[in-house]
Amino acid sequence: MSRRYRKSRREPGLLEIAATSDWKVGAGLAAVCAVTAAVIIPGTLGHSRVLAGLVFVFSPLAWLMAFVFAVIAFIRFTKQAGARKQSAGNTPVGKPSRASGPVISPGDKALLRRTFEPASNSPSAETSDTGVAQPRPTAWSLDVINRIEWKRFEDVCCAFYREKGIRAETTALGPDGGVDIRLFQDEANPTRITAVVQCKAWSQAVGVKLVRELRGVMAHEQAEKAFFMAPNGYTDDARAFAQANRITLLDGKLILAMLERLPEASRQRLLELATQGDWTTPTCPNCGAKMMKRESKRGRFWGCSTYPRCRAMLGMRGGG
């Protein structure tokens, strides 16, 4: 279901989070470890004759973690203070300095703007995560199709069929069971699924495995036809399997051709749906919130903006 991004194999640990976040995060974790070592562990285990010996095992470990997080917090504080001083030194004379506040990354600034600023009614431009206004597309192109984030791409595909007068329904967030859209075209039996659609807006060709899974969904749903929509195409094995199993494969060029065959009003409605708001930052596949650019020792990745409530992650195309 997710677009061109792959889930990372590991989540960042507390040490990585502290090392890449504001110094207050490390200081808070150090305080939690210290309270655990001094109060919680002795108070929980010290009154038990059986478990009292464990106090001398876990308390030193908690103190050690408190020391580690305190060192990380101090290093982060030193670096952030140096960055503020450097920024203040580069501020032109006669202009007010903004270096007195906390250091906020461009991605966090974009999130704050989306969260707290009222939505603009102007369709003329979008704002990238670097804070630079980008012109909003005025016509469909392969570049526009490739830039749409995975959830918006699914919504646009569903809206396309509705523009064609076909009843179409998308699946809910989470595991989709191998299908993203169901089509209903039987007037005699409106509840019967006549076709299923899978959308994979990846940055690479779709392989035969996913096409086989779609064939299984066809059989399970008793659908007559199936469509696979993937802007970056398919492998030769996937094409051969699809041709033998009544599955229509639609790549970026075919999707663009179908959009261009629509009436002008329909094309513009779909373009408005595709490019309104933040249409390039991926949606969290677990909770539906927008994701944020984050960094770890393994490189940059997309992390859910509601972390730690939601810990979903997606790989970043081309290294971000």
* pLDDT for 197: 96
Say which range, 78-87, 175-184, 264-273, has the weakest mean pLDDT.
78-87
Alpha helices in the chain (DSSP H): 14-20, 23-35, 41-45, 55-89, 106-116, 142-147, 150-163, 208-221, 236-243, 252-261, 264-275
Residue 317 has pLDDT above 70, yes or no: no
pTM equals: 0.56
* pLDDT for 281: 87
Residue 242 has pLDDT above 60, yes or no: yes
Question: What mean pLDDT, rounded, does the chain reach?
Answer: 79
Per-residue pLDDT, averaged over 253-270, amounts to 96
Residue 174 has pLDDT above 70, yes or no: no
Q: Which amino acid is at 211?
A: V
- CA dihedral (63, 64, 65, 70) in degrees, to 10, reads 90
- What does the domain layout of the chain look like in residue ranges? 23-89
Cis? peptide before 308, omega within 30° of 0: yes
pLDDT-derived band at 175, boundaries 50, 70, 90 = low
Residue 11 has pLDDT above 70, yes or no: no
Tens of pLDDT, residues 200-212: 988 889 999 999 9
